[in-house]
Amino acid sequence: MRITTWNVNSIKQRVGHLLGFLDEAKPDVVCLQELKCQDESFPRAEIEAAGYAVETLGQKAYNGVALLVRTPLQYTELLRGLPGDAEDGQARYIEALVQGEGVAPVRIASIYLPNGNPAPGPKYSYKLAFMARLRTHARTLMADEKPLVLAGDFNVIPEPEDAADPSAWTQDALFLPETRRAFRALLAEGFTDGLRACDPSAGLYTFWDYQAGCWPRNQGIRIDHLLLSPQAADRLVSASVQRHLRGLEKPSDHVPVTVELSDG
């Protein structure tokens, strides 16, 4: 099972890139973030025609997450929204249990974690509260011992080697010590960073800002992650970054990241 996460930074602008990627890579499950559209505006017909079932949690102009599941795989136990705060109206979390004939179940979540800037401030407080809720929910999910993959734009630079210029991020919410502590606390629940488990090298980035020539100078950061529970990590075959998509015309500032799990 190939599972991809991709912050598309507006599905309406990037649908052509997405369809090209689906045809090229044929991922089994795609976790999308930053759709920037409501559910009824999502280009469902085009993606269904490409062979994928679609579930979305949209929001006008902001946020938005989706799960795309390639047939003949099926999904159940769909959950829209991260539990723990009934007042949270931001569209940042969707999960489902995905399985198929000869493919053991994997619970997969698409997550768009808050940016949190400026910090300190209410946006940063929301980010940390969201991370705490995610950790609580993940602990609950881990208890049933089914393979679990938390995939998405976490807006967290875990370590200095995950940034081309760490000094440029020391005051940013993505790299503040409290952010990184919260991310390590999530990992401590038993998760494996899928990409790092396969490739510990420096210079491995998933985001390049549109400004200041960051892409041509490779001034990137790694903020898109796939976290695997022990049962999922046992099935990990490979992980990769589809870096070449950043070079397309009018690209997202993020690129897809993919893990492959054995069928179990």
Would you state the pLDDT for residue 264?
80
**The pTM is what?**
0.98
- Write down the mean pLDDT value for the chain: 97
For residues 264 and 257, what is the distance between their CA atoms, to the nearest angstrom?
A: 21
Would the pLDDT of 207 be above 90? yes
pLDDT digits (tens, 9 = 90+) for 122-164: 999 999 999 999 999 999 999 999 999 999 999 999 999 999 9
Would you state the pLDDT for residue 261?
98
HEC sequence for the chain? CEEEEEECCCHHHHHHHHHHHHHHHCCCEEEEECCCCCHHHCCHHHHHHCCEEEEEECCCCCCCEEEEEECCCEEEEEEECCCCCCCCCCCCEEEEEEEECCEEEEEEEEEECCCCCCCCCHHHHHHHHHHHHHHHHHHHHHCCCCCEEEEEECCCCCCHHHECCHHHHCCCCCCCHHHHHHHHHHHCCCCEEHHHHHCCCCCCCCECCCCCCCCCCCCCECCEEEEECHHHHCCEEEEEECHHHHHCCCCCCECCEEEEECCC
Residues 233-240, mean pLDDT to the nearest whole number: 98
Number of domains in the chain: 1
pLDDT digits (tens, 9 = 90+) for 2-23: 999 999 999 999 999 999 999 9
What is the residue range of 47's domain? Answer: 2-261
Would you state the pLDDT for residue 259?
98
Would you state the pLDDT for residue 136?
98
CATH for 105: 3.60.10.10
